[in-house]
Chain A
């Protein structure tokens, strides 16, 4: 609660308000919202996480992709109330204070972005893929990203960026990961 919160004088009793609480990038956030508020707008305007972009408003372009309990969703067609009690990851949650996520590094290293507008959504779709499939083929990557439109790059370098990140993630994986078999008991 802040010291002072301005309330619009025009608010009437007819506008319903719902309280929602969700974990966003690991931090618990709460807000009073109109039930029709879209998740993308809560993130952008309410929580000032403007890395989530809205491109088409119709669930096509994927610029607004965030992870919803680890699954990629297009936040322009998710009501904020649907995220109540759930776990949301946005682009701002990819890097730590000191380190970029390998997907972010890959996008820079392989020139996987130009104007940067689709990039946050693209990277989150890529993260969902790599979380499930650490060793994807080029076709796996192209299919996983087919809900995210890019107008600048022609995708070839985006695909390379994701494969770059997959390799880095595999290389970085802790060495004590249980081996298939044959390990010492």
Chain B
């Protein structure tokens, strides 16, 4: 008899997580927990200035401190051709500064010492003589004709522009705007933010002279890409590099790029011939490593009076900091910004994008999203709300008029992506019903009469998750496939390894569930291992919600290969031809004689003890999966808020989330991902941003200035589910880890703007801090979040 899939921890089981067993005992193995014999400790000296020429560096004071083993400067790196490294966006980035510092927090020197306290003391003993230069803190300033040149290290760079780029149909869009009854316009800023996992970055480099092998323990979401990058930068043969990503204390995109600290620790280990540990402090993490967002928008929507959208125009200006090191795998300069409006049926769209250098930290990352999708969906949903308001149409009804219909798939999006499945209107209806939308208008009116400001904000969106297909997505030319290797032991237990890398998503639990679903081996009998490049198959790592869409698909495919071989063995054991063997969960049986069968475990034993002639022994295989398309989950988020007119403080009264991520492997984990994502969405809408003063000082360099919501502020969430299986994924799953972070912010902001609608205020840039909301309420004007520029006295 077939097994009960839920009982064996298969697809759909809310299986308790196996990784929890070590985490709840404090037995996780994070990079700072790794101790190697003879290990030294590295600290980084960072620039206090945003833009300055380095006149001299005096390290003699550092060397004078007992216990100091090595001091690294840019000059020493340059002597080894390591002062600069390539970025993931085909630019260069300073490892240790040689000529100028270009942002506050830039790496200037490193001290390697017997313990981290000594290394920190010695950093303070280094004297750097800086000649300050004028800092550039926003794109307008960067593009001014007389702006100082930030990248004077680049031969052909004459201004601070990184790129101009465009996509879409300009002529068609122009015609649509010419024919429109109403044109809605809105400008806004998606502020710079930081993924800020609680664990910062770190590495332990261990170069063994006797074997020429370099082992690096590292906080990385993509160990194999790091191995390739280290091989290129440090000119060490790839087989002599082993990258081990141990347990990661969160990632959210922050742990994708290569950072100077990693490179410096590797060189330090080579020079000292001892393991060198670098553990970044929180300020270092916040001011120097991969930020997210920082994009300005000019948006326009062309509509007919009946609500039908005819076309959209978007112009973005993105602030990339001092080095263009966006960590993104697409061929598109502004990432997947043009996934905007994918859930709406809009015939014409045109996007122009400009990127600029500023004196800010580099390393734009996809902070809990596919690259730039968070900005795209925020802009989209804010533009949609403004358009509905300008048209005088109900915001829910306006969406309903324009959403892609269920029978309209596959659907070509306004900018040319192909979406494949969804029940958008159903999700919207569930959300509206849950929040009590029908009665809200009256409630809002009555509240307003009593001086209370209530608002409802809706955000509906589908986003591209799971990069990618190899036609359009690669990193440094490496295609965006992923992999799985499965070894079934003779007793029917198994080990599974993938090229992904969990950071809290629960791969150790869910991957085993996919194998259980495909093979009927109980999930508890399968151990999952990731993150060690010497043992795991090559893969592109975990970000952009690509684990389940890509690596998860590879897990299903490798399981099917195993099943195909087991079928041959089963036929041999049952003494029938393979065509007469049928499969049900966990066993093969003879067609027409269901009681005559063998279990997958019996097949496993036979694979090592009784294989038919002509068949290789053993039961292991691997699979590399190149997805035919991205996956397109849909979400409808609806927030209900109350704004206090006396203070500008707003509270979330209710937050309803309707998510359709296709088939859910482990519903408990999926819901955990959604709630975590909603919290980061709330954070960005409410408090969390990195900004700069006119001198380029980073405001947000620690958790007293960079605010993350606590259990006290974070609202409760009400979750609803719709399931539209992904037509091209082996088990019908779509990405989910990032939907709520992507779609959530607009729901909160739209809700506050709805509460303020009577004042004529059309936009407040995130985060909607009390002083910004209060300022908008009292002045009746929009509030910009652009960092201020120094004015000459």
Residues of chain A touching chain B, judged by Cβ–Cβ distance below 8 Å, are 8, 10-12, 34, 36-37, 44-45, 49-58, 60-61, 63, 90-92, 94-95, 100, 104, 107-109, 111, 113-120, 123, 141-143, 145-159
Contacts and interface: CB of A to CB of B under 8 A. Distances in A.
A108 B66 contact: no
B477 interface: no
B249 A116 contact: yes
B67 A149 contact: no
A56 B703 contact: yes
Contacts of B66: 8, 10-12
Interface residues of B, number: 58
B26 A49 contact: yes
B117 A36 contact: yes
Contact of A119 (B16, B24, B196, B669): B24
A57 B282 contact: yes
Contacts of B30: 50, 53, 117
B197 A117 contact: yes
Given A8-B67, A8-B114, A108-B24, A116 B714 contact: no
Given A10-B114, A60-B702, 13 more contacts: A8-B114, A12-B66, A37-B117, A50-B26, A60-B704, A100-B24, A113-B504, A115-B247, A117-B199, A154-B678, A155-B679, A155-B711, A156-B717
Contact of B710 (A45, A116, A147): A147
B745 to A, nearest CB: 14
Contacts, number: 177
A152 B676 contact: yes
B198 A114 contact: no
A50 B676 CA distance: 26
A57 B703 CA distance: 10
B702 A56 contact: yes
Contacts of A52: 26
Contacts of B196: 151
Contacts of B710: 145-149, 155
B716 interface: yes
Q: Determine which residue in B27, B30, B200, B672 has the highest number of CB atoms from chain A within 10 A of its CB, and name it.
A: B672
Nearest to A51: B26
A138 to B, nearest CB: 9
Interface of B: 16-17, 19-28, 30, 32-33, 35, 66-67, 114, 117, 196-200, 247-252, 281-283, 503-506, 668-669, 671-672, 675-680, 702-704, 708, 710-712, 714, 716-717
B714 A155 contact: yes
A58 B703 contact: yes
A152 B24 contact: no
A111 B669 contact: yes
B791 to A, nearest CB: 33
Contact of A115 (B25, B249, B281, B282): B249
Q: Determine which residue in B17, B23, B24, B679 has the highest number of CB atoms from chain A within 10 A of its CB, and name it.
A: B24
Given A90-B26, A91-B25, A111-B668, A53 B282 contact: no
Given A12-B66, A56-B702, A150 B198 contact: yes
Contacts of A118: 198, 249
Nearest to A104: B24
Contacts of B199: 53, 55, 63, 115, 117
Nearest to B712: A146
**Top 6 nearest A-B pairs by Cβ distance?**
A51-B26, A117-B249, A116-B23, A115-B504, A10-B66, A91-B26
18 contacts: A37-B117, A51-B26, A51-B27, A60-B704, A63-B198, A111-B17, A115-B198, A115-B199, A115-B249, A116-B20, A116-B247, A117-B250, A118-B249, A149-B198, A149-B703, A153-B676, A154-B717, A157-B672
Contact of B503 (A55, A90, A115, A156): A115
Contact of B16 (A44, A60, A109, A142): A109
Given A56-B702, A60-B703, A154-B676, A113 B708 contact: no
B720 to A, nearest CB: 15
Contacts of A154: 675-679, 714, 717
Contacts of B26: 49-52, 90-92, 94, 120
Contacts of B247: 115-116
Contacts of B33: 44, 50
Q: Determine which residue in A53, A94, A111 has the highest number of CB atoms from chain B within 10 A of its CB, and name it.
A: A111
A34 B30 CA distance: 26
Contacts of B17: 108, 111
Given A55-B282, A149-B198, A153-B675, A113 B24 contact: yes
